[in-house]
Amino acid sequence: MMELNGKTAIVTGAGRGIGEGIAMVLAREGANVVLTARKIDEVAAVAKKIVAQGGKALPLTADSSKKADVQAMAAATVKQFGGIDILVNNAGIEATPTLAVDLAEEQWDRVLGVNLKGVFLCIQAVLPTMMQHKKGRIVNIASTAGIRMTFFGSVDYTVSKHGVAGLTAHLAWELADSRITVNTICPGGVLTPLMEQHSTPEFRDMVSKRLIPLGRMCSIDEIGEAVSFLASERAAMITGQMLAVDGGLLTGFGEDLRPIVRKRMADAKAAAAKR
């Protein structure tokens, strides 16, 4: 049974990785999927996969940190499919890991511009349609950094994801009388192609065995299945929640990670200086 049959979902940052995985799962569940990214070739390739499997997809270019782009995204979705039932705010960035003392103002603004402001702008763009129809599912993709902190990134990333937590709680309350639910999934340690490209097998093995009680990293599909659940009627009474999909990562860190983190930041700084 396809739980989302006939529903229309927007997935931002859907050109690869977690966003692509979410889009593929929602399409399998019967949803019409609008895919956005800054590069049209990436989302066009994902849309082609969805159509090849019998689904309906619309690829669009959009920068989620720009109001004009996301307003156009919402208008194009309504024009193509007649409405918007589900919004998945997946677009996000993580800049070069940097200690607070060295963090540039431009990096701070860029990370919060996409990871927090962009989430708000996308929600704001779809609300008129959802409020008019008195229904909607909004699922934000944050990180375990939104519940605790990031141990392998910078303070700007942690702050941006905690901001999404506040946004989720407030809008869940504000939009409840319009029957719009707002929830956030907090992945922890997801094995994406980007993760494989930018980390060594030894680092991934360390994360899996020393930090994740279940002993492995999450798959992209496991994040997609969590999104599908929160977008379905089964989750009608769930709103304002931060759901960690992390293999138990947040149950506790059993060692002082600061030496590992600082070495990783120093390595990243040295690599950047060579460019």
pLDDT digits (tens, 9 = 90+) for 68-127: 999 999 999 999 999 999 999 999 998 888 889 999 999 999 999 999 999 999 999 999
Q: Return the pLDDT at 194.
A: 74
Contact 9, 33 (CB under 8 A): yes
DSSP string, 170-235: HHHHHTGGGTEEEEEEEE-SB--HHHHHHS-HHHHHHIIIII-TTSSPBPHHHHHHHHHHHHSGGG
The DSSP call for residue 81 is: H
* pLDDT score at 84: 99
Q: What is the pLDDT of residues 239-272, one digit of tens each?
A: 999 999 999 888 865 555 667 767 777 887 888 7
Please state the domain extents for the chain. 8-274
List the structure tokens of 50.
């969805």
Question: Cα-Cα-Cα-Cα dihedral of 208, 95, 73, 10, to 10°?
Answer: 10
Report which of 149, 271, 151 is spatially closest to residue 203, judged by C-alpha positions.
Answer: 151
Q: What is the pLDDT of residue 153?
A: 81
Distance CA 117, CA 155 (A): 16
Could you report how far apart the first and last alpha carbons of the chain are, in Å? Answer: 51
Asked if the model's pLDDT at residue 26 lies above 60, the reply is yes
Q: Dihedral sign, CA of 214, 216, 217, 218?
A: negative
pLDDT above 80 for 3: yes
Mean pLDDT of 167-175: 99
Q: Exposed, middle or buried by CB within 10 Å (0-12, 13-18, 19+), for 206?
A: middle
pLDDT given at position 96: 81
Asked: is 8-274 a CATH 3.40.50.720 domain? The reply is yes
Given pLDDT bands bounded at 50, 70 and 90, which one contains residue 189? confident
Tokens of 16: 């690869």
Which residues carry out catalysis?
A: 157
Give ∠ CA 52-53-54 in degrees, rounded to 5: 90
What percent of the chain shows pLDDT beyond 90?
73
Q: Is pLDDT above 90 for 157?
A: yes
